[in-house]
Amino acid sequence: MNPPPDLAEVMIPVTGFIQREPEDGQPASQKTDVYMGYDSQFVYVIFVAFDEEPEKIRAHISRRENVFSDETVEIQLDTFEDERRAFSFLTNPFGIQWDAIWTEGQGFDMSWDTVWQSRGELTERGYVVWMAIPFKSLRFPPPADGENQSWGVIFVRDIPRNNETSFWPQVTSRVEGRLNQAATATGFGNVSPGRNIWLIPYFAVAQSELQPDPSEPANEFDRAQVGLDAKWVIKDSLALDLTANPNFAQVESDEAQVTVNRRFEVFFPERRPFFLENADYFRTPINLLFTRRIRDPEFGARLTGQMGKYEIGTLVIDDEAPGKVVASDHPLSGESALNGIFRVSRDLPRQSNVGFMFTARQLEDSRNRVGGFDSRIKFDDNWDTRLQAVHSSTRVVDPETLEVEDLSDPAYDIIFNRNGRKINTHIHYQDIGEEFVTTLGFIPRTDIREAHANFNYNFWPERKALIRWTPNIFVQRNTNHDGVRLDEGISGNIDWELRRRTNFGVFARTGKERLLKCQDYIDDSCDPDTPDPVQPLADDIDFDVNEVGFFFGTQFIAAVNFNLEFESEKTANFSPVAGEAPAAADEQSADVRLTLRFGRRIRIETDYLYTKLDDRESNDEILTNQIVRTRFDWQFNPKLSLRTILQYDKTDPNPTLTSQSPRDGLNADFLLTYLVNPWTAFYIGYNANESKIGIDEDGNRFPVDDRFNNANGAFVKISYLFRP
């Protein structure tokens, strides 16, 4: 990985890093020297990070991308030199890698992965990191004969014990954006990835056992699967990805989230690799592509990249799930949905752009199509706006009765942002029609006209302990298209930031929340055309919503990271028993996370989430929900690791006050990983679930006396990257 000897002598040196946080414009507290060069295959970067107190350097041998409790160094390469998007390569002092794509106006897309080399070591005066980035792992304009390329470049160093981030060249927080402040690296001549084809075959075998009812025998399943992912980089700047029989089993489990007493769908981020790469190409203010809607694909193709001033993204993929979740005699049995997404964006001056996006999903005679335009316009160094207008057209055909329902409505999104060191403002208006449907997107609520604004001011007292304190105010109002007020509120918070990544704050909110009859809570007979509809809500209900709380977080001690948030809220019981209307309730919730590090290789993280809901009129308990999740990571070396997750989830509902189902489950998840790079890997995993809740043939939950193993399974997965 070392640069050739003749190249090492001519590598370009860089020094003189400038702080962005906490003291914008001041020299970095510790010296950093960077050396950069290239040959026909690699870009080479060497960071020499000096430290006057080397014993305080935070560095661990951890799994790839788990580096942000450590010191880090980073290079960003704007290979198209258009100030829009940059490849980011970052490591901790031991060379543990993290990579991402930075997009102006959006931030980091951490789902992007590629292949590169790095190593690092601690020294008596700090640490040294070596990087070798293959041209095959980058995208850049096709080189012209005899002409050199110019790339934007930024170097970054982060020192967590000082809350310090420094840049070369200077990247001030007084100006919105990074790449518009980058330096220019010239002289990249005769560079090309050459033949750039990736082939990633995989083999997976799994054995599982499912027993939803302890009185019934368990069902056993064995499955072996072979598949292939392929990538072809076209003209150095476009990437065509193909997948056949993809294995979309999640190696990493979802983070714990509270789902009880929630009115709207809870968002769980995508974790499947094929959908994660270049996801930022399809990101717009209105979330029109939430790929977890595509549950069981067999074939897919994606084309993403940049051609001059145009960025394009297309995705075509099937979904076999609709034909697998129905009975064998159902008309949709064995049928697949076809999904298509098209996205194009055109660069405009001053980091602005205009784009078009179209999504479609077809299942037999039912279809959903959404299309429209969006834009980001940057006015000056601080202000920008984001606009989007889309329209959906949906036809739903009942496969059994052949009844047809046609839906059509627009949606609009307007955002104004001001970003600066002291004054920050966010103004947002969203209008979503009642019949707007995006089967591939994530829109938890329709028939709204919602406006909110956020304003905060950063005070920088430049004291030894206190770095910054920030008062913040947020106002919001939401109506439907008949002009009926749904939600409104005003909230405020103050937070303080101290050295060693310590922060704390307090917050409060007051407002109202309205539930509408025959819209929010209805049964099958709730029809506005019926003279006397039967419905849980006799009339609209308006609730007072008030909350107060505080939060605290610290990494004062390098081996300990502690975070706590508590809030007390006046809300409503959104899951009453059948036939009853929602009633006013009081909720207390807490979220605690403690991370401990033992040496440089072992990490234990424990989360505790607690929710308690009480009926405000009777003071009777409606439900309690507790989730305890402990994750144990042992990194034997940069490639080999053992991960164990234990999670306990218990919900105790009061059946006289809520229809929320009981839960009492214990989950154990074990994973041994040998990870050479994101595509060359070997996994051995085992998962076991115990529960005191059974599930009958209709899907209804019922308690049982003793805990039983209701699901468990083991799997082995091998994948390998061929890159000739």
**Residue 265: predicted pLDDT:** 63
For the beta carbon of residue 174, count every other beta carbon within 10 angstroms.
13
Q: Is 463 exposed, middle or buried (0-12, 13-18, 19+ CB in 10 A)?
A: exposed
**Residue 400: predicted pLDDT:** 81
565: which 2 tokens? Answer: 């948030």
Measured between alpha carbons, how far is 526 from 200 in angstroms, rounded to an integer?
53
Measured between alpha carbons, how far is 65 from 90 in angstroms, rounded to an integer?
9
pLDDT in tens, 443-483: 988 899 999 999 999 999 977 789 999 999 999 999 999 99
**DSSP character for 274?**
H
pLDDT in tens, 140-198: 887 666 678 889 999 999 999 999 999 999 999 999 999 999 999 888 877 776 667 88
Three-state DSSP class for residue 144: coil
**Residue 522: predicted pLDDT:** 47
544: which 2 tokens? Answer: 């007072």
Measured between alpha carbons, how far is 631 from 593 in angstroms, rounded to an integer?
11
**Residue 532: predicted pLDDT:** 45
In the block, which residue shows the tokens 């799930």? 321
**Residue 390: predicted pLDDT:** 96
Measured between alpha carbons, how far is 313 from 656 in angstroms, rounded to an integer?
52
Measured between alpha carbons, how far is 445 from 451 in angstroms, rounded to an integer?
14
Lateral strand order in the sheet of 117-123:
12-14, 32-38, 42-50, 126-134, 117-123
The residues pairing with 239 across neighbouring beta strands, listed in sequence order, are 233, 304
Measured between alpha carbons, how far is 87 from 78 in angstroms, rounded to an integer?
7
- Ranges of residues in the chain with a pLDDT under 70 are 1-10, 143-146, 193-195, 236, 247-268, 271, 518-538, 697-699, 707-708
Q: Helices (H), strands (E): how many in the chain?
A: 3, 37
The residue ranges of every structural domain in the chain are 5-188, 268-443, 458-625
**Residue 691: predicted pLDDT:** 83
Whether omega for the bond prior to residue 22 falls within 30 degrees of 0, making it cis, is yes
Q: What is the pTM of this model?
A: 0.86
The residues pairing with 543 across neighbouring beta strands, listed in sequence order, are 513
**Residue 525: predicted pLDDT:** 44
* Closest-CA residue to 418 (of 448, 378, 463): 378
**Residue 280: predicted pLDDT:** 81
| CATH hierarchy code of domain 5-188 | 2.60.40.1190
Per-residue DSSP letters for 107-143?
Answer: EEETT-----EEEEEEETTEEEEEEEEEGGG---PPP
